[in-house]
Structure 1
Amino acid sequence: MNWDHVRIFLAVARDGQMLSAARSLGLDHATVTRRLNALEEALGAKLFTRRPTGCAPTVEGERLLPIAERMESEMLRAQDLLKEAARLEGTVRIGAPDAFGTYFLASRLPRLAERHARLVLQLVPLPRTFSLSKREADIAVVLDQPQEGRLIGRKLTDYSLGVYAARSYLERTGPVRSPADLRDRTVVTYVEDLAYSSGLDYAGVVAEQAGRRFECASAVGQFEAVKAGAGIGVLHDYAAAAHDDLVRILPQIRFERNYWLVVHADLHGLKRVAETERFIVDEVKAARSRFLV
């Protein structure tokens, strides 16, 4: 089976459109069509149902997909092994919750990039659903322990969250001494039906007492709203610690969650992935005291 044809099959399966796959591969549409036709002819099977709106894998295409993904993993492994041992190169995509990515990883990952001129690090926010097997991320930091799939996971750290307000907000509205005081305040919280993990269920405890609510789908958006004096919200302690203008209130309300570091089993042995994993783990260990308050 021609690997060059198989990688085109993978791109079309993941993008759902030949034109989009061609762009991602840096090829023209005619080349993608020709090579995909050649693969179907070699296998004696139709791999996609082709429509004006896109391409959907046939039953045979669905059967080929996990085999093609294993071929891709082996090709990545071969490339990694054949490169000079002392050199890290290639791309590693790290998916992370927006708070952890923005307030912890974004300021630290560039140090790893500085050490290895040929290593490209991509930090991306985790969408509501994502797939490591489809290479949407090489490494993922997640809120829930993985339960299925060929994934290798380890607990990265516990972390705490507390209730915060900006000094300017408290000066304007008065002190908050008990949850009952929230009846006259605005609480900044999640958009409930967009919360993608059970680990994001903490804000409801505070929001139940709120007189008014401002709902924001991202943790970064909530953080910035609270910091700007828009209201009171549950924030990550490790992020709030860097801002003197934020005041922790209602200390009796505290939440504890954890982060997990996950990588697909096929990528775990790649040098660039393993080195990036090690770097993230070491950085979290060095900052352990910041995560739990």
Structure 2
Amino acid sequence: MQVTDWSDFQTFLAVARAGKLALAGEALGMDATTVSRRLRRLENRLGATLFEQTREGQILTQAGERVLVAVEAMAQASRELETGRPDSGLTGHVRISVSEGFGNSVVAPNLGDLAARHPGLVIDLVATSGFLSPSRREADIAVLLSRPKSGPLIARKLSDYALRLYASPDYLAGRPAIKQTRDLKSGHQLVGYVPELIYAPELNYLSEIDADLVANLRSTSILAQHRILAASGGIGVLPCFMGDGDPALVRVLPDQVIIRSFWLVTHKDTHSLQRIRAVHTWLTETTKAKFKLLMP
């Protein structure tokens, strides 16, 4: 039975954290060739390919992710034995994929708290129109608009959130009064998504209010729609965590409420990694603390 040198596992861990052989070598005080040779030796002994070589660098395979869970636990235990006290210093890289609105309104303002808790972590917040896929390992954690129906994923409901119609007082002052949904169909500019570019069916808000409502000012970005509404460009649907916080906007037909849900999703192979669990917990706690903002 072959015994694997712990230094080979340390090399593996350095590459997993740095993502590139040269950067891992700098951290370890060795050249990239030596790092590569140690990785090959470890892979031969384990009988598995641990990394895929890409243009961006070294990407963990499924086998590599399973090994990483064990090696991070070993590294933590080693640090605790050396120091004689529990080790809480997480290191590594976590990429979070969220929608634009949630990312900019709820997650981004609180990222400083996450950094203070875990200063050794590098956090990527990808807040765009569309989502990166945990299933394809594009992101470590994703906050999605619906529960995934397939894939090697772990999903749990993060929170419900409410949406309403909003407009600026200046826009409403010069337009026909709105007392019911049918009043939106005449004499008003409606703001919404580009139908053929909607990246999730849950974003099709106007048709839920009334099947005949059609936006004539359209954008793929909820942030752009927000700007249009705040600049007196029309009436549109926004999450309450965006619309209620903008003094330039007021609710239109306030009894008309749309409810959606956020789902917190991770890959099964990396869900147990300490850094993933830590950010997962932080996202859950942060969202819970903002529940009144999400569901006013």
Category of TM-score, reference length = shorter chain: 0.7 to 0.9
1:94 maps to which of 93, 96, 104: 96
1:198, CA displacement in angstroms?
2.1
The structure-2 alpha-carbon separation of the partners of 1:74 and 1:186, relative to structure 1 and needing over 3 Å to count, comes to farther
| TM norm structure 1 | 0.73
1:189, CA displacement in angstroms?
0.3
Deviations 1:15-57, CA, capped at 9 Å, x for gaps? xxxxxx999999xxxx99xx7xx98xx99xxxx9xxxxx99xx
Matches within 5 A, 1:122-271: 122-125=124-127, 128=130, 130-173=132-175, 175-182=177-184, 183-205=186-208, 213-271=216-274
The structure-2 alpha-carbon separation of the partners of 1:221 and 1:87, relative to structure 1 and needing over 3 Å to count, comes to same
SS class of match (1:283): helix
The structure-2 alpha-carbon separation of the partners of 1:173 and 1:156, relative to structure 1 and needing over 3 Å to count, comes to same
1:93, CA displacement in angstroms?
1.1
Provide the residue aligned with 1:104 in structure 2.
106
Which runs of structure 1 show a deviation greater than 6 angstroms over 4 or more consecutive aligned residues?
2-5, 21-26
TM-align CA RMSD: 4.0
CA contact (8 A) 1:145 1:260 kept: yes
1:65, CA displacement in angstroms?
5.8
The structure-2 alpha-carbon separation of the partners of 1:83 and 1:112, relative to structure 1 and needing over 3 Å to count, comes to farther
- Identity among equivalent pairs (%): 31
1:218, CA displacement in angstroms?
1.6
Return the alpha-carbon distance in structure 2 between the equivalents of residues 123 and 111 of structure 1: 14
Return the alpha-carbon distance in structure 2 between the equivalents of residues 83 and 265 of structure 1: 26
| TM norm structure 2 | 0.72
| Structure 2 unaligned blocks of 5 or more | 1-7, 26-31, 81-86
Return the alpha-carbon distance in structure 2 between the equivalents of residues 275 and 192 of structure 1: 37
Return the alpha-carbon distance in structure 2 between the equivalents of residues 86 and 25 of structure 1: 22
SS class of match (2:229): helix
Return the alpha-carbon distance in structure 2 between the equivalents of residues 263 and 236 of structure 1: 24
Return the alpha-carbon distance in structure 2 between the equivalents of residues 240 and 117 of structure 1: 33
Deviations 1:253-273, CA, capped at 9 Å, x for gaps? 221010011111222222222
Return the alpha-carbon distance in structure 2 between the equivalents of residues 239 and 228 of structure 1: 15
Deviations 1:56-114, CA, capped at 9 Å, x for gaps? xxxxxxxx965455556656666666566221222211110111101111101221112
| Structure 1 unaligned blocks of 5 or more | 9-20, 49-53, 56-63
